[in-house]
Amino acid sequence: MNFVEYPVAIRVILVVFAGTFLIQMVYWWLVHARLIYHRPISSRIRKSPVSIVICAKNEEENLKNNLPMVLEQDYPDYEVIVVNDASTDKSDDVLRDLKKKYPQLRTSNIKENMHIRRGKKLALTIGIKAARHDWVLLTDADCIPAGVNWLATMQRSFGRKSGIVLGYGGYRRRRGLLNLVIRYDAFFIALQYFGYALSGVPYMGVGRNLAYRRELFFRNKGFANHYELASGDDDLFINEVAGKTATCVEIREESHTSSEPESSWKNWYYQKKRHLTTGPRYRFLTKLLLGTELLSRLLFYASLIILLSLQILLPWVAGIFLVRMLSTIVIIKLAMTRLNEKYLLLISPLLDVALPLAHIYMVFNNYIASKRARWS
């Protein structure tokens, strides 16, 4: 049967299937694949002084286990500022002991005060204000650098014209399905924000491994435009300022950090819901690009299922699906190598569908919750 002989509804589905396939190929090969053939800066650059800023709230064990690696970087001139955000554990004692051993460690303490809106944004602002150097490098208390050359490798992208450097912050491998979901989610988000940055449209970074100029922070008035949100200290801030300065990408293995993943589905669910509250605040272009990719992906699978169930043009439909699947597998595999990730390839086809549906559900729940808050 020729295309024109099919009913109108079937022709529409066929057009949607073919159109979304083409859109997906554009995203995968022209955006996501940029990470694969990106070549980081190879020339030697003068090592600029750097201030590493870490916020910590009840992170006694993480500070004890992870902070020494940050403090033992092979780098000539840097300081580490830890902002202790009203911790009720023994974080203060751990920091006091570490300061005796590491003179480059400086600390700030936020006292419990019911009249001050606290949170990571306040702690970060205090830490960045205390920084003595032009470049600030952010990470979290539960993050551990790939090695003693983490700072030196991230700093290789600190140029005279650059104002932002995006690094990779992954999660440690643990047993179980949840760990695979968390690591793949972080990996795919990185694939997106690295790809867009390398395409000239940077839109976010992750606070687990992110650097920018102190002057840029204050010129933008810090987090003033979204201070009321619990999240957004990394993605919303970069979304606002990336157009005002050059953004660089650093993906060498020594520049990575790794964090401890959530251990329960409930905790991960609420963590993701909180992170997704920032999406509506993105620039229009960012929302358009991300939304088009997400919608085209879901429509591709929906039209695929309909065409397969109706057994229409099966060889062509199966061939197009196979081309897309092979394209994603090749790009994911090569990108995993660049980001030193393992054991995510087999689960990627399933999560290619499941994660967008889960994210849409979480965004819808956030929307309903915000409506209820306004009505109450």
Segment 29-60, tens digit of pLDDT: 999 999 999 988 765 566 889 999 999 999 99
With a cut of 70, list the residues of the chain below it in pLDDT: 1, 42-46, 114-118, 369-376
Q: Count of residues for the chain?
A: 376
Query: What is the predicted pLDDT for the residue at 6?
Result: 81
Write the DSSP symbol of residue 172. -
Rounded CA gap, 274 and 269, in Å? Answer: 9
CA atoms within 13 A on the CB side of 336: 16
Task: Give which of 135, 128, 82 is closest to 104, Cα–Cα.
Answer: 82
Cβ contact 230:274 at 8 Å: yes
Query: What is the predicted pLDDT for the residue at 371?
Result: 59
Query: What is the predicted pLDDT for the residue at 331?
Result: 98
CATH of the domain spanning 46-281: 3.90.550.10
Tokens of 352: 């290619």
Q: What are the residue boundaries of the structural domains of the chain, listed by start?
A: 3-36+285-375, 46-281
Query: What is the predicted pLDDT for the residue at 140?
Result: 95
Query: What is the predicted pLDDT for the residue at 376?
Result: 42
